[in-house]
Amino acid sequence: MRARLPQRVLPPLGFALIVLGSWYGVARHLANPQLLPSPWTVGVALVDLLGNGDMVDDILASLGHLGLGYGIGAGIGLIMAALCARFAALETAIDPLVELLRPIGAIAWIPFAILMFGVGSTVPVFLISYGAAFPIFVATLAGMHGVDRALLAAGQALGASKRMLITHVVFPAALPHVLAGARLSLGVAWAAMVAAELTGSDSGLGWRLFWYQEFFRMDRVMAVIVVIGVLGVAADALLRALRQAVVGWSPEDSNAA
Amino acid sequence: MEGLIPRIAITSLGKTWQGRRGDVEALRDINLAIGPGEFVAVVGPSGCGKSTLLSVVAGFATPTSGKVLVDGLSVDGPSPERGVMFQDYALFPWRTVADNIGFGPLARGVKRAERLEITQRLVALVGLDGFQDRYPHELSGGMRQRCALARMLANDPAVWLMDEPLAALDPQTRIVMQDELLRIWGDERPADQRRAVLFVTHGIDEAVHLSDRVVVLARRPGRVRAVIEVDLPRPRSALRSSPEAARLVAEIWALIRDEAVDAIREENG
Amino acid sequence: MRRDRWIAITTVVCIVLLWQVAISANGLHAKVPSPLGIVAAIAAHVADGSLPSALRDSFLRVAKGFAIAALIGLPVGTAMGMTPILARAVAPFLDALRSIAPIAWIPIAVLWLGVRGDAAVFIVTYAAVLPLALSAHQAVRLIDQRLLQASHALGAGWFLTLRAVIIPGSIPVLITAVRVSMGFAWGAVIAAELAVGVKIGPGQGSQGIGQMMIETLYVRRDVDTLAMCMLCVGLVSLAIDAGARGLGRRLAPWKV
C-alpha cells in the first residue's frame, strides 16, 4: 500500500499550491486586507511577529497553560483509572459522577471558571485539566478491564506473582489504550486551550486572536491561526511518535483516527 | 502403567459452573491417572468438558467435588510445576519471542545470564533460530505455536497440559507440528526421559497418532466413556497412516459419532 | 447490573444531598450553586420561556451548521474514498485544518458574517465538516472488496451494488461520525456564543445558551443559573449521543 515518495508528496503539494493560489486570487480581487489578507501578507506578519518576540511570548504562554493543565488533567485521569481498575467499589462510586460531568464538556465551564478565578492563566489551566482528564480516564480504564484473560492465565501458569501480573501483563496490555487516550485528551485540551484563552485569559495565542482583531490586523490574526495549526499538528505527531516508540510490538494501524 | 505412582491422579472429579442462567454440570465423576512419561489425549464432542478438565488440573478452576493430585500434592491454583499451552497460544504480544520464552524463568527469579542460556537453548530446540527478536504478530501460526511450546518448556514443568494446541494451524503445518511435538517430548527416547502429558484435542487421528491412551469423554455432563489403549510402537512418525491407527480412529469415532451429531444439532438450533 | 444501577443512583442522591446540606450550613448561596437553587433557576427560566428559547436558538445553529457540513463533507469524503489520488492530495490538508481549534476562526467569522449568529454557524460547520469528510473517506475505503466482488459475481449491477452493498456498508462508520461530529458541533456552538458574548458584551449578541451564560456571568452573577445552563449543555450532549445511537440501531441493526 505504501506509495513511492513522489506519489506521496506531489499530490498534497499540488493541492497546497491550488489552495494558496486561490486564496491569493480572492485576496487580490477583494483588495481589502482587513477582510482577507493575502497569503503573502500573512507570511510577512508571521515573520514579523516571530522576529519582534511577541509571537514567541504568546507561544510560550500557551504551551505553559497546556503543559500545566494537561499534566494535571491527564495525571488525574490516569491515576483515577488505575485506582478504579484496582478497587471495583471506587469505580462503581465515581462512575455516575463521571457520566454526569463528562457530557458537560470543558467549554461549558468557561463562565464558571471566569467567575471563580477571574480572567487570567488559571482559567485555561483549569479548563485544559478538566477537558484532558476524561478521555484518558475512559480509555485507560477500558484498557485495563479489557486485558485478555488468557494472557493473565498464561502469566499465572508460568509462575508470575500478583505484582508481576500487574507490571508485566496488565500495564503493557493497557498501554496502547493509554496512549490512544492521551492523544484524544491532547486534542480536547488543545481546543479547550484556545477557547479558554479567547474568553478568559490575559495571555496566550487564543487571547492574541481577539487582541489583534481589535486593531483590525487580520494578517496577524491569520498568522496566529497558522501557528495554532502548526503547533497542533506537531503535538499530535509527537504523541504518535511516542506511540510508535513505546508500543512498536502492536500491529500498527496508522490510518485509525 | 500399574505399579507406578501416577504423576496426575484425578479421583471422582466433578465440576459445576455457576452461570446466570442456572448451573451447568460440566464434569461428573472423572477418574484418571497419568503415569510418568505417559502421553494421554482427551477427545470428545463439543461440550464434553475437555477444556474444563484441563483448567481444573492447571489450577484455573477449583473442583466442585473430588480431587486432583499432581505428584501427590493437591492442586490449588496455577503453578510453574504444571506447564500449560493455551488454545490460541496466549503469547504476550508486547514481548519478543525470546522475552516470551524467558517470562517463566523471570517469574521464578532466575538470573539474567542463566535466563539467556535457557532461552537460547529452547529457541534452538523448537527451531526458531533467527526469530528471537520478532514480535508474535510478525510470526506465522506454526512459529507462534513453537514459541508457545518453548515458553511452556522454559520452566521445565513436570507435566504438560495442552489445550488444543494445534487447532489453529492449517492441516499441513499441523502434521509437521505433531511430529515436532513428539520429537521434543522424546518420542525416540526411553519412557523415563519423557514428561507426563495431558493433551486435549478435537482431532481423533491426532490423538491416536500422539498418545499412549485416548480418553473418550461423553457430554452433558462430561463423563469418561471409554479409555482406548494405543499400542503402536514409538517413534510414531512413520506410522501415520497404518491400518492399525486407522482401526483405532474408526473405533473412537464410533463412540463419539452420535453425540457429535447431537452437539452440532444443538448448536444450530 | 441492577445492583450497580442502584449503587449509582444512591451515590448521586447522596452527593446531591450532601452538596445541598453543605451549602445551606455555610451560607455560601451566592458563591456556589446549590441543587435547590438550580431547581429554582430551571423553574424560573422555563416559566418565562428564556431557557427553551435559548436552547432552541443554539440547537438551530447546530442543525444549520451541521447540515451545511454534511452537504460539503460527505460528498468530499466519498470522492476521496473512490479516488485515491484525491485522497492523497487532500487528506493531509484536512488533518492540518483539524489541528486548528474551530473557535480560533471566530475573529474572522465575526468579521465576515457578523455577530448575530452566522459566525457561530460558521464555527459549527467548521467543527463538523472535517470529521465528516474524513469518516466518509474511511467508510468507503473500508468496505470489504470481496463484498463488492461477491455482489458483481451474483449479477448485481452498479445501482444494486450501491444500494445493497456500499450504502449499508458505510452506515455504521457514518453513524459514529455523525455522533462524534454532532458532539463537536454542540461544543463549538457554545464556544462561539461565549466568545461572541465576551467580545461584544451582553444584550446584543446571538440569543443562545452560551449568550445566556455570558449574561448571567457579567450582569447577574447568578451561579445557580450558570449551573443550570451547564446542566442543560450536558443533557443536550447526552441527548445527541443517545439519538445518534438510536439512529444507528435502526439503520444498522447488524452492528452496534
Contact flag B107-A250 (C-beta cutoff 8 Å) = no
Residue B252 and residue B196 in one domain? yes
How crowded is residue C92: how many other Cβ atoms within 10 Å of its Cβ?
Answer: 18
How far apart CA C145 and CA C153 sit, in angstroms, is: 12
Q: Which of B94, B95, B107 sits opposite A160 (nearest CB)?
A: B107
Res. A257: pLDDT tops 50:
no
**Domain-located, residue B115:** yes
Q: Which of B136, B156, B176 is the last residue of a domain?
A: B156
3-class DSSP assignment, residue A134: helix
Residue B151 and residue B196 in one domain? no
- The per-residue pLDDT of chain C, averaged, comes to 84
C110: closest CA of chain A, how far (Å): 10
Residue B188 and residue B210 in one domain? yes
Residue B77 and residue B165 in one domain? yes
Q: Which of B117, B135, B156 is the last residue of a domain?
A: B156
How far apart CA A104 and CA C236 sit, in angstroms, is: 9
Dihedral over Cα of A165, A170, A175, A178: its sign: negative
**Chain A residues close to C62, C-beta within 8 Å:** none
Q: Which of C93, C104, C135 sits opposite A12 (nearest CB)?
A: C93
Q: In this complex, which chains have at least 3 CB pairs below 8 Å with chain B?
A: A
**Domain-located, residue C1:** no
Can you give the pTM of this predicted structure? 0.82
A85: closest CA of chain B, how far (Å): 20
Closest residue in A to B157 (Cα) is A158
pLDDT at A28: 84
Average of pLDDT values for C57-69? 93
**Chain B residues close to A159, C-beta within 8 Å:** 78-80, 104, 107-108, 155
Whether residue B221 is preceded by a cis peptide bond, meaning omega within 30 degrees of 0, is yes
Q: Which of C4, C106, C238 sits opposite A198 (nearest CB)?
A: C106
Are there at least 3 beta-carbon pairs closer than 8 Å between A and B? yes
Can you tell me which residue has the cell 517430548?
B185
pLDDT tens by residue, A185-235: 999 999 999 999 999 899 999 999 988 988 888 889 999 999 999 999 999
Assign residue B26 the CATH number of its domain. 3.40.50.300
Q: Within an 8 Å CB–CB cutoff, is residue A168 touching chain B?
A: yes
pLDDT at B172: 86
**Domain-located, residue B1:** no
**Chain B residues close to A168, C-beta within 8 Å:** 92, 103, 106
Contact flag A115-C226 (C-beta cutoff 8 Å) = yes
- Give the residue numbers spanning the domain of B114: 91-156
Best interface-test mutation with A: which of B89, B94, B153 has the largest number of A CBs within 10 A? B94
Give the total number of structural domains in chain B.
2
Residue B151 and residue B262 in one domain? no
Q: Tell me the sheet residues that pair with B68.
A: B10
How far apart CA A9 and CA A6 sit, in angstroms, is: 5
Closest residue in B to A152 (Cα) is B90
Can you tell me which residue has the cell 465515581?
A94
pLDDT tens by residue, B108-159: 888 889 899 999 999 988 888 889 888 888 888 889 989 999 999 988 888 9
Taking one residue from A and the other from B, the number of pairs with CB-CB distance under 8 angstroms is 74
Residue B148 and residue B166 in one domain? no
Q: Which range, A112-116, A131-135, B187-191, C104-108, has the best average confidence (pLDDT)?
A: A131-135
pLDDT at C201: 66
**Domain-located, residue B263:** yes
Contact flag B78-A157 (C-beta cutoff 8 Å) = yes
C153: closest CA of chain A, how far (Å): 25
CA dist list (Å): B177 to A92, B174, B191, B195, C229: 47, 5, 21, 18, 66
**Domain-located, residue B147:** yes
**Domain-located, residue B179:** yes
Residue B59 and residue B170 in one domain? yes
pLDDT at A254: 39
Contact flag B84-A160 (C-beta cutoff 8 Å) = no
User: For residue A257, what is the DSSP state?
Assistant: -
**Domain-located, residue C18:** no
Phi, psi torsion values for C73, nearest 5 degrees: -70, -45
User: pLDDT class for C43, splitting at 50, 70, 90?
Assistant: very high
Residue B137 and residue B56 in one domain? no
Q: Which of A159, A161, A249 sits opposite B94 (nearest CB)?
A: A249
- The three cell numbers of residue B139 are 510470526
Can you tell me which residue has the cell 439512529?
C247
Q: Tell me the sheet residues that pair with B160.
A: B83, B197
Q: Which of B129, B156, B183 is the last residue of a domain?
A: B156
Q: What is the DSSP string of A129-177?
A: HHHHHHHHHHHHHHHHHT--HHHHHHHHHTT--HHHHIIIIIHHHHHHH
A15-24, B47-56, C95-104, C108-117: least confident range? C108-117
Angle between helices C118-142 and C50-82 (to 10 degrees): 40
Closest residue in C to A235 (Cα) is C99
pLDDT at A80: 93
How far apart CA C161 and CA C146 sit, in angstroms, is: 12
Closest residue in B to A248 (Cα) is B94
B183: closest CA of chain A, how far (Å): 23
Please check whether residue B37 is in contact with residue B193, taking contact to mean a CB–CB distance below 8 angstroms. Answer: yes
**Chain C residues close to A130, C-beta within 8 Å:** none
Residue B127 and residue B169 in one domain? no
- Which domains are seen in chain A, by residue range? 40-246 (1.10.3720.10)
A95: closest CA of chain C, how far (Å): 7
Question: How large is the ipTM?
Answer: 0.84
- The per-residue pLDDT of chain B, averaged, comes to 86
Res. B241: pLDDT tops 90:
no
Residue B164 and residue B248 in one domain? yes
pLDDT at C214: 87
Assign residue C174 the CATH number of its domain. 1.10.3720.10
Q: Which of B58, B92, B104 sits opposite A151 (nearest CB)?
A: B92
Closest listed residue to residue A183, CA positions, set A127, A114, A233? A233
Residue B104 and residue B220 in one domain? no
- Give the residue numbers spanning the domain of C218: 35-251
Average of pLDDT values for C218-231? 87
How far apart CA C186 and CA B268 sit, in angstroms, is: 47
Res. A1: pLDDT tops 60:
no
Residue B143 and residue B21 in one domain? no
Residues of B contacting chain A (CB within 8 angstroms): 58-60, 77-80, 82-84, 86-88, 90-96, 103-104, 106-108, 135-137, 151, 154-155
- The three cell numbers of residue B256 are 463419539
Contact flag B92-A172 (C-beta cutoff 8 Å) = yes
B95: closest CA of chain A, how far (Å): 7
Closest residue in A to B153 (Cα) is A158
Give the total number of structural domains in chain C.
1
**Chain B residues close to A157, C-beta within 8 Å:** 58-60, 78-80, 82-84
